[in-house]
Amino acid sequence: MKTISMVITNSGDGSNAVRWVTDPAVLDKMQELADDGDEKYASGDGLQVTELGFPDDFNMDLWMKLNSIEVTTVEDFE
């Protein structure tokens, strides 16, 4: 099964955004930031993650391209 996670983040201006994640290390970093009280990731309810699952033969790259999905990477935190 292929998976991608949606993480709801606080944009700081009263709005929210969705960050897309495929790397468990990125989710770990977001969880660490939420646990440390970073409101971008904690947003009052802790880290809000929903995981979507797809069959192994699903063309994830094409689906992301067609839906203009940009994935958050570990390098985004550096």
Residue 48: per-residue pLDDT:
94
The amino acid that residue 62 corresponds to is: L
Give the separation between CA 25 and CA 31, rounded to whole angstroms.
Answer: 10
* pLDDT for residue 72: 97
Residues 20-74: tens digit of each pLDDT: 999 999 999 999 999 998 989 987 678 999 999 999 999 999 999 999 999 999 9
* pLDDT confidence of residue 14: 87
pLDDT reported for residue 27? 97
**Which residues contact residue 49 at a Cβ distance below 8 angstroms, ignoring those fewer than 6 apart?**
5, 6, 7, 21, 27, 30
E strands present in the chain: 2-10, 16-21, 48-54
Confidence of residue 12 (pLDDT cuts 50, 70, 90): confident
Sheet holding 16-21, edge to edge: 16-21, 2-10, 48-54
